[in-house]
Amino acid sequence: MRQQLAHVLEQVLRRNPGEQEFHQAVVEVFDSLEPVLRKNPQYVDAAVLERLCEPERQLIFRVPWVDDAGTVHTNRGFRVEYNSALGPYKGGLRFHPSVYLGIVKFLGFEQVFKNALTGMPIGGGKGGSDFDPRGRSQGEVMRFCQSFMTELYRHLGEHTDVPAGDIGVGGREIGYLFGQYKRITNRYESGVLTGKGLTWGGSLVRTEATGYGTVLFAERMLQNRGTSFDGRRVVVSGSGNVAQYAIQKAQQLGGHVVACSDSTGYVLDERGIDLDLLQQTREVERLPVSIYAERRGATFVPGRRVWEVGAQVALPCATQNELDEDSAAALVRSGVIAVAEGANMPTTPSAVALLRDAGVLFGPGKAANAGGVATSALEMQQNASRDSWSFEYTEERLAGIMHSIHDRCLATADEYEAPGNYVVGANIAGFTKVADAMLALGVV
């Protein structure tokens, strides 16, 4: 079975040259699968691995738009519809200069397993563009989104492919995208996008869901070890949507959150992060965290990573590969007991190994940050039934899903003789659910 895995991996590397993030995501899953293939040779016979590593559809398209000065720009748009064995493709859109096909494929591959872990009937996909919304006017963002959707709309549908937001795509962008979809199709299909505004088909808790879910997963890990967030010192990377609501939920559970960050550096606020001020600075005024520090009287450390701040719980909520081996070592020295990934693959493989070897509880992103897509699926349910649920009921559903994901990962790790290894548990539980569905549907 090891030889079979090596053969498929060689194929992936050869057919997807230069896509390092995608390679990393595949290797991370493959590292867990040898005992699964030994126990289930039917997966090998049906070439499930080979098919799973090849997206069902990869879309690349031109996105021309005009800025406020009348200058024409051309960006590149992507949508990778990765796997629909469990349901319609589901996954966010990312607008960031770093976006290229390899990033979108890595995110789509991760999304397949993440969505499977939720237990909801949704497949995996991802998309985005190398457009940077930072510094652009409302009109420029609107025109870009309209151009992007003018091409993408033909591939979407509530039973086909349902995008949501990701880095650079929040409620504003989802609104512009949905408006253009409605204009082109002449149909009010609320279920074709999630993360919508509450007054036009959105769901309560969706804004908070990824950050909340990450902390709920971390809390479940801590409870399994006989402790909790209460009184724990917490650091969070990032200061966008996921980070903000991870901070909020950690504070609600008694955690003392002392640091957050952005691309310019990090803030150390020993009094505890003032979430209202952070949201005003970052979400409303769209200013860097250095301005938060200035207004709060906190310390801003430019050009450095938040992981050098000592903490017992660390929540990486920014971007891929932000927590490397040196940063993990610093966290271990500071006494960290739990790390839960709010972002997608934010921890490098060597850092994960170091944390695991040190006995640190580690919640991988495909499990720990699945709350966002789970609540997107709940939004789809509400749209399909023309219904709207209360905040309390939706949050209760989210908590139940996150606890179920945690428990399934833990039980699967035990079954495959890797007790307490959430990485192995998440990879195997997600893989077997998708693989069984692929077998049932035949060679398609």
90 carries an active-site annotation: no
Half-sphere exposure of residue 352, counting CA atoms within 13 Å on the CB side? 20
Any idea what DSSP says for residue 320? T
Task: Give the 3-state secondary structure of 347-360.
Answer: ECHHHHHHHHHCCC
**Of 21, 34, 128, nearest in space to 417 by CA:** 34
Q: Which two tokens stand for residue 29?
A: 């899953």
Half-sphere exposure of residue 38, counting CA atoms within 13 Å on the CB side? 8
> 344 phi and psi, to 5 degrees?
-90, 115
> 392 phi and psi, to 5 degrees?
-65, -45
Instruction: Tell whether the torsion through CA atoms of 237, 241, 242 and 245 is positive or negative.
Output: positive
Q: Which of 90, 114, 126, 366 is catalytic?
A: 126
Distances (CA, A) of 347 to 22, 252, 300: 14, 26, 23
Q: Which two tokens stand for residue 314?
A: 């660390």
What is the bridge-based pairing of β-strands 313-316 and 299-302? unpaired
Catalytic center residues: 126
